[in-house]
Structure 1
Amino acid sequence: MLKLGDSLPEFIGTNQNGEQIDSQNLKGKKLVVFFYPKASTPGCTAEACNLRDNYSVLKEKGFQLIGVSADSEKRQKNFSEKYELPFDVIADEDHDVINKFGVWQLKKFMGKEFMGIVRTTFVFDENGICIQVIDKVKTKDHAAQILE
């Protein structure tokens, strides 16, 4: 998993509208990349909506936001439209972006082990250097964690 001081990985992802998001075009701005397990599930919806509701404050502070999950482009589009998300969500079905950040890991739930996305948020400065890793995401108060 990426850690403090690491550089923003190079990636090209596809957003909810089928548009390419190239990490090379994201430098020069503060960037928040948040990974969530599955669009439209309760925790992921709470997290995305908290970021949506605080988007103007985050934007005022100079942050650009991008969400990433292994969902399809269609599922990301439905998620984005249903909850009126003002930021891009990347459909990473092939796990390219997920693997570059190191968030596809062994998880345990109700006694079962499986591979999946570990809910994690990375904050990068204008030079593309990781300045914050949030691995204990509070889905209903996530914007406050980023702004701390």
Structure 2
Amino acid sequence: MLEIGTKAPDFTLLDQNGENVSLNDFRGKKVILYFYPKDSTPGCTKQACAFSELNPHFIEANAQIIGISKDSVASHKRFEQKYQLPFILLSDSELEVIKSYDVWKEKNMYGKKVMGVVRSTYLINEDGVIEKTFEKVKAADNPKQMLDELNG
């Protein structure tokens, strides 16, 4: 994970609507930047739906939720529509942002070593500085954990 107190690497990726989105677009807001392995899998769906349910509270706290995976724009669009997700999903099929945020790691899947996204979340402040990091988060608990962090 990147170090707390360092500037979060800026990026520009396509969202679920095929629009360019940059981290810098959210200066002046806190950003909940969460990395997840794959659209429509059980854990990722639990996490996204929990963020969705709590989204009004994040808006109240002047925070933007952004989810990033290596899935395609089309996959993100289907995921968003199926679960009516009210926040931004970004496609990083080239793994550039995923690697720059140090969440592409060796994992153990069914006894096999594979490379993949480790479910991780960054809390980035209004100035684009990393305030908190959370690695290997529990999908269902992470949204409430992040809301608690915002509300101190």
Structure 2 length-normalised TM: 0.93
Deviations along 1:62-84, one digit per CA (max 9) or x if unpaired, are: 11010000001110110011110
- 2:29: which partner in 1? 29
- 1:60: which partner in 2? 60
Q: Distance in 1 between matches of 2:84 and 2:3?
A: 31
Letter in 2 for 1:124: I
Residue 109 of structure 1 and its aligned partner are, at CA, apart by 2.0
Is the CA contact (8 Å cut-off) linking 1:58 and 1:143 kept in structure 2? no
- 1:49: which partner in 2? 49
Q: How do 1:59-98 residues align onto structure 2 when only pairs under 5 Å count?
A: 59-98=59-98
Instruction: Report the aligned-residue RMSD.
Output: 1.0
What runs of 5+ residues in structure 1 fail to find an aligned partner?
none
**1:20 equivalenced with 2:20 (yes/no):** yes
Pick closer, same or farther for the CA change 1:10–1:36 going to 2, 3 Å.
same
Deviations along 1:40-79, one digit per CA (max 9) or x if unpaired, are: 0000000000000000011111110100000011101100
- 2:40: which partner in 1? 40
Residue 91 of structure 1 and its aligned partner are, at CA, apart by 0.9
Deviations along 1:66-123, one digit per CA (max 9) or x if unpaired, are: 0000001110110011110100100110111111111111111221101000000000
Q: Distance in 1 between matches of 2:85 and 2:34?
A: 14
Q: Distance in 2 between matches of 1:70 and 1:134?
A: 19
Is the CA contact (8 Å cut-off) linking 2:118 and 2:136 kept in structure 1? no
Q: Distance in 2 between matches of 1:70 and 1:136?
A: 17
Letter in 2 for 1:35: F
Q: Distance in 2 between matches of 1:136 and 1:108?
A: 13
Deviates more, 1:36-45 or 1:56-65: 56-65
- 1:105: which partner in 2? 105
Identity of paired residues, percent?
Answer: 40
Q: Distance in 2 between matches of 1:85 and 1:121?
A: 18
Task: Say how many residue pairs are matched.
Answer: 148
